[in-house]
Chains A and B, each alone.
Chain A
Amino acid sequence: MSKILIIAEHLDGKLNSSTARCVSAAIAAKPDSIDVLVLAADAASIASDAARIEGVSKVLTLSRTENAHALAAILAPQIAAIAGNGYSHVFAPSTTFGKDLAPRVAALLGVAQVSDIMTVQAARTFQRPIYAGNAIITVEAPASGIVVATIRTASWPAAANGAASAPIEAANADVSLPTHTRFVELSQGKSDRPDLQGASKVISGGRALGSAESFEIIYKLADRIGAAVGASRAAVDAGYVPSDLQVGQTGKIIAPELYVAIGISGAIQHLTGIKDAGTIVAINKDAEAPIFEIADYGLVGDLFKIVPELEAALAT
């Protein structure tokens, strides 16, 4: 019998769509039940959002003040305790939240962890990328023991909301929590733009933009079509944009319907973050740039001429 426990990701009282993507992966494992666990200072409203996701059997809540911020050292022992109640799998999204948390849970349970599940072949058999997505491996978890895994969110659609709501129950994890880890602050770039990980359109800029000021033309173009903004590592390292815009192997892995790479060469570490995009457009002055190998539409030329033209053309 398999019972899957999904750890809900949320911020500022809002459920992240990564949770519904984990539900899709869980459904693919054909379990007997799928429960979602919400750990928060006050889990009520997040839980009622999670309860609406189609495929969810039950939502469990652990509301306590220590859970106000997602600190792995504090959440992991509670999750390990709940997982011990007969769960066969624990899934978390492969976002920075899940990547930080899941291995800590796995180690407490004394089991290996599967990172970045792309496909579910059977309840304990999965495909995952290695070497920046240059190879895909099939891995089997041991026949016994809980399977702890992170779900590569770009590989899975978000499960839709259903007609009915799943029941919500307060759970109980009787464990002592450490005080050795304390939240200080979260500094977020305030923006009305769509979230990079969920956006259907993304416009990214690379090293070629040359400065934070010049990068403004990328923001302008993105705003014109309601796109999120991304960047290459080089653009982040150079300080043109904040680190949470980095797309790639070690940044965000995304799958928008439209991805536009501007002044980005197309290093393998960048490409692995975008290869599930629907349509890829590349603008680069070097006709030999590797980005053109995977672009659906390529345009060779100077971005400082092309981008304003493109913005104007899209305004009409």
Chain B
Amino acid sequence: MKILVGYKRVVDYNVRIQVKPDGSGVVTDGVKLSANPFDDIALEEALRLREKGIASEVVVVTIGPANAQAHIRNGLAMGANRAIHVVTEDAIQPLTAARAMLKLVDKEQPGIVILGKQAIDDDCNQTGQMLAALWDRPQATFASKIEISANVARVTREVDAGLETIEVDLPAVITTDLRLNEPRFIKLPDIMKAKSKPLETIAFADLGVESGDHLKTTRHEAPAKRSKGVMVKDVGELVAALRAKGLV
């Protein structure tokens, strides 16, 4: 069985995001870029399924600019067998990403597609669900445990009420939550080895994805700031302050 993994490059989670003064976007020049943390978890899970003999091949997919090659090589160094780079300089919204992924699914016929539950740049949390709908296959979102037997995935999902378990027939789309696993670190020799792994580049325009239905972003602004409050010296002072406000 083949597993397709979404592997998006995003601004690193440690970067302090600054909105440009003219409201046209956020500053991305010169900031550190990394794999979306949920996609590292997705790739790790796919590799473990391959190590268990359940999957035979792990393919990472990046839809992103031409200069994302080093990022894709990281996915290969972590252990993916090969990579597909759909090249576009435009920011791709989830519906378009899902439509593009569907083209790759048609071509590759994977048994499982594992994506992150959300990209930490747009925080959309949509692409996996949309791909599953367009593909007319099951979705198991926010996974914290995946067990595969025969043609069924039993997935534990982190939901607001607790942990939900569902069963889905394969092929299916699974999206990852934080507790699914802890991704391995990339080792130096593997970076060298990754250089010779297959990396296919496809121009976005050549995929024949229907366009349109985009949301138009008209303005970026910094969030309202909370002002710094006061420091209290002890518990007595804290309780007095909270009582004065009627909070306790």
Q: Which residues of A contact B (CB under 8 A)?
A: 11, 71-73, 76, 95-97, 99-108, 110-116, 125, 129-142, 145, 178, 180-189, 197, 201, 225, 233, 236-237, 242-244, 249-250, 252, 257-258, 268-269, 275, 278-281, 292-300, 306, 309-310, 313-314
Chain B residues within 8 Å of A249, by CB: 120, 123
Chain B residues within 8 Å of A296, by CB: 229-230
Picked from B162, B179, B215, B247, the residue with its CB within 8 Å of the CB of A237 is B179
- With A142-B213, A183-B166, A297-B232 known as contacts, the answer to whether A107 contacts B160 (CB < 8 A) is no
Please state if B144 and A250 are interface contacts (CB–CB under 8 Å): no
Nearest Cβ in chain B — how far from A37, in angstroms?
18
Picked from B93, B120, B168, B179, the residue with its CB within 8 Å of the CB of A181 is B168
Interface residues of B, dominant DSSP:
mixed
Please state if B238 and A129 are interface contacts (CB–CB under 8 Å): no
| Complex Cα spacing A138 to B142, Å | 27
Please state if B165 and A104 are interface contacts (CB–CB under 8 Å): no
Nearest Cβ in chain A — how far from B98, in angstroms?
6
| Complex Cα spacing A189 to B236, Å | 34
Instruction: Identify 13 new A-B residue pairs, CB closer than 8 A, beyond the known A181-B167, A310-B239.
Output: A73-B138, A97-B159, A102-B129, A107-B133, A111-B213, A115-B124, A137-B221, A139-B216, A139-B218, A181-B169, A186-B163, A250-B177, A298-B229
Kindly supply a per-residue 1/0 record for chain B positions 35-62, scoring 1 wherever the CB is within 8 Å of any chain A CB and 0 otherwise.
Answer: 0000000000000000000000000000
The segment from B11-19, B63-71, B75-83, B196-204 that touches chain A is: B11-19
Chain A residues within 8 Å of B19, by CB: 134-135
| Complex Cα spacing A116 to B19, Å | 19
Nearest Cβ in chain A — how far from B161, in angstroms?
5
Kindly supply a per-residue 1/0 record for chain B positions 114-158, scoring 1 wherever the CB is within 8 Å of any chain A CB and 0 otherwise.
Answer: 000110111111111111111011111110100000000010011
Interface residues of A, dominant DSSP:
mixed
Chain B count of residues within 8 A CB distance of the other chain: 82
| Complex Cα spacing A113 to B213, Å | 9
Chain A residues within 8 Å of B217, by CB: 137-139
Please state if A113 and B160 are interface contacts (CB–CB under 8 Å): no
Please state if B142 and A131 are interface contacts (CB–CB under 8 Å): no
Please state if B126 and A113 are interface contacts (CB–CB under 8 Å): yes
Chain A residues within 8 Å of B98, by CB: 107
Chain B residues within 8 Å of A306, by CB: 235
Asked if B187 is at the interface of the complex by the 8 Å CB criterion, the answer is: no
With both beta carbons as reference points, the residue of chain B lying nearest to A114 in the complex is identified as: B215
Asked if B208 is at the interface of the complex by the 8 Å CB criterion, the answer is: no
Asked if B107 is at the interface of the complex by the 8 Å CB criterion, the answer is: no
Asked if B231 is at the interface of the complex by the 8 Å CB criterion, the answer is: yes
Chain B residues within 8 Å of A309, by CB: 235
Asked if B248 is at the interface of the complex by the 8 Å CB criterion, the answer is: yes
Chain A residues within 8 Å of B11, by CB: 131
Q: Which of A73, A249, A293 has the most CB of B within 10 A?
A: A73
Picked from A125, A189, A197, the residue with its CB within 8 Å of the CB of B162 is A189
Picked from A135, A142, A184, A268, the residue with its CB within 8 Å of the CB of B221 is A135
| Complex Cα spacing A102 to B95, Å | 12
| Complex Cα spacing A228 to B13, Å | 28
- With A103-B94, A314-B239 known as contacts, the answer to whether A11 contacts B161 (CB < 8 A) is yes
With both beta carbons as reference points, the residue of chain A lying nearest to B93 in the complex is identified as: A112
Picked from B26, B133, B162, B179, the residue with its CB within 8 Å of the CB of A103 is B133
Chain A residues within 8 Å of B234, by CB: 299
| Complex Cα spacing A196 to B36, Å | 28
Asked if B222 is at the interface of the complex by the 8 Å CB criterion, the answer is: yes
What are 8 A-B contacts defined by CB distance under 8 Å? A11-B161, A73-B138, A102-B126, A113-B94, A130-B123, A242-B162, A243-B177, A310-B238
| Complex Cα spacing A183 to B165, Å | 7
